């Protein structure tokens, strides 16, 4: 049984009211809402981020035999879809954060350099996209150093941000938080404050917080959620972005702005989500649904989102929070 508080009831009633108010007007592909920044609460920010990996590295494909030819194929697709994203960002003069798998520095050097030269932040998404569950703390430290060094050599810029593959910093892998700080990272964006079969730390704050480890910890920028009916719905990107109408995400952003202090929301996408023509991986029906739902309309939906909102890079949000560290909530992610 989930705990129910007066605040929960109030939030649920507000959300239901907002649902009713919004649903009849939800023409999601038309960017009709005023830019969020014009009505935004002081200091509110929306971070736009991308997890850059070839499609075959996704968790749903774990265990599949992928040939070298398939790897090369998905590498080529990654180039095209990432350049499409860069082009869209350029049109809207938006700077974003790209969490890049370190191993991509071997085949996609130019692409990563293009991101950095365009003013985007290049951050780490591990070396080869292995979840933390299968690593020891020392193995994680090596993986982290390898990806950070490789990305810094390619871009000539310091890597200060990290996102674990499949949001795999959970309660049992929270030892990673101190290691991130020790290795020179300034923020992490791996703790999803939701119930989910693959990831999540239910009960973690929805806004930026200090993720405390045994030796200090690190600033955490969690993916955006929508609080409704005593639960956090994970609407910050991925399948939720493709499955749910865009007004869900817009409502979530407004709710974060109202309810979270500091009011910072994190969105995340993957280049392969904008590639409807790619060869689909032979995954089971449930994974097929999760992976490919809505992929045909994701480009148009993404364009509408870019036109209706203002964004910052994660490092900008982290810098802005640096002077407000004392107001951040503290959360011990490793607690049972």
Which residue, 45 or 190, is less far from Zn ion as judged by CB?
Answer: 190
Closer Cβ to Zn ion, 53 or 188, answer by number: 53
Secondary structure (H, E, C), 62-131: CCCCCCHHHHHHHHHHHHHHHHHHHHHHHHCCCCCEEEECHHHHCCCHHHHHHHHHCCCEEEECCCCCCC
Residue closer to Zn ion by CB (options 58, 309) is: 58
Q: Does 53 bind Zn ion (CB under 5 A)?
A: yes
How far apart (Å, rounded) are the C-alpha atoms in residues 129 and 42? 37
Number of Cβ within 10 Å of residue 315's Cβ equals 22
CB of 130 to Zn ion, least distance (A): 10
For Zn ion, the closer of residues 185 and 210 by Cβ is 185
Report the nearest approach of Zn ion to the CB of residue 103 (Å). 12
Residues 6+ apart with CB under 8 A from 205: 193, 222, 260, 329, 331
User: Which is closer to Zn ion, CB of 44 or CB of 124?
Assistant: 124
Q: Is 103 one of the binding residues for Zn ion (CB under 5 A)?
A: no
Q: For Zn ion, what does the binding mask look like between residues 9 and 48, x meaning CB under 5 A?
A: ----------------------------------------
**C-alpha to C-alpha distance for 226 and 36, rounded to whole angstroms:** 17
d(C-alpha 76, C-alpha 223), whole Å = 28
Inter-residue contact 180 to 188 (CB < 8 Å): yes
- Cβ proximity to Zn ion: between 255 and 291 the closer is 291
Q: Which stretch binds Zn ion (CB under 5 A): 76-84, 161-169, 237-245, 307-315?
A: 161-169
Is residue 220 close enough to count as binding Zn ion by CB under 5 A?
Answer: no
Q: With CB under 5 A as the contact rule, which of the stretches 36-44, 164-172, 223-231, 299-307 interacts with Zn ion?
A: 164-172
Closest separation in Å from C-beta 219 to Zn ion: 20
* Contact residues for 305 (Cβ-Cβ < 8 A; gap 6+): 31, 246, 249
- Sign of the torsion angle spanned by Cα atoms 25, 271, 175, 327: negative
We find the least distance from the C-beta atom of residue 125 to Zn ion, in angstroms, to be 6
Query: Binder to Zn ion among 51, 121, 273, 275 (CB under 5 A)?
Result: 51
Q: Name the residue nearer to Zn ion (CB basis): 176 or 304.
A: 176
Smallest distance, Å, CB 104 to Zn ion?
11
Question: Which of the stretches 53-61, 153-161, 189-197, 252-260 binds Zn ion when contact is defined by CB under 5 A?
Answer: 53-61
Between CA 1 and CA 149 the distance in angstroms is 46
Nearest approach in angstroms of CB 83 to Zn ion is 19
Which H or E run includes 268? strand 264-269
For tokens 């290049």, what's the residue? 122
Query: What's the half-sphere exposure (Cβ side, CA atoms, 13 Å) at 102?
Result: 22
Binding site for Zn ion (CB under 5 A): 51, 53, 165
């Amino acid at each position: 049984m989930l705990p129910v508080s007066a605040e929960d009831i109030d939030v649920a009633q507000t959300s239901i009211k907002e649902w009713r108010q919004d649903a009849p007007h939800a023409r999601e592909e038309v960017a009709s809402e005023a830019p969020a920044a014009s009505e935004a609460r002081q200091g509110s920010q929306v971070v736009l981020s991308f997890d850059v990996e070839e499609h075959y590295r996704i968790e749903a494909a774990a265990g599949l035999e992928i040939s070298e030819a398939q790897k090369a194929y998905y590498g080529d697709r990654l180039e095209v879809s990432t350049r499409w994203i860069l082009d869209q960002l350029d049109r809207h003069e938006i700077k974003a954060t790209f969490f890049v798998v370190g191993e991509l520095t071997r085949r996609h050097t130019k692409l990563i350099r293009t991101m950095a030269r365009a003013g985007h932040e290049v951050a780490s998404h591990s070396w080869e996209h292995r979840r933390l569950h299968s690593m020891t703390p020392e193995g994680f430290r090596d993986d982290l150093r390898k990806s950070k060094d490789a990305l810094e050599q390619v871009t000539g810029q310091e890597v200060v941000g990290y996102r674990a593959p499949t949001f795999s910093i959970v309660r049992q892998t929270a030892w990673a938080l101190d290691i991130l700080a020790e290795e020179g990272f300034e923020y992490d964006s791996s703790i999803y404050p939701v119930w989910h079969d693959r990831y999540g730390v239910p009960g973690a704050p929805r806004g930026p917080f200090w993720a405390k480890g045994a030796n200090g910890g690190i600033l955490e920028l969690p993916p955006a959620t929508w609080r409704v009916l005593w639960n956090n719905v994970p609407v910050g990107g991925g399948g939720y972005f493709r499955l749910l109408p865009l007004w869900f995400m817009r409502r979530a952003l407004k709710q974060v702005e109202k309810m979270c202090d500091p009011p910072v929301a994190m969105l995340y996408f993957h280049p392969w989500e904008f590639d409807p023509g790619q060869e689909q991986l032979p995954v089971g029906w449930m994974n097929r649904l999760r992976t490919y739902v809505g992929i045909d309309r994701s480009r148009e939906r993404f364009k509408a989102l870019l036109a209706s909102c203002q964004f910052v890079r994660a490092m900008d949000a982290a810098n802005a929070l640096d002077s407000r560290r004392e107001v951040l909530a503290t959360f011990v992610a490793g607690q049972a």
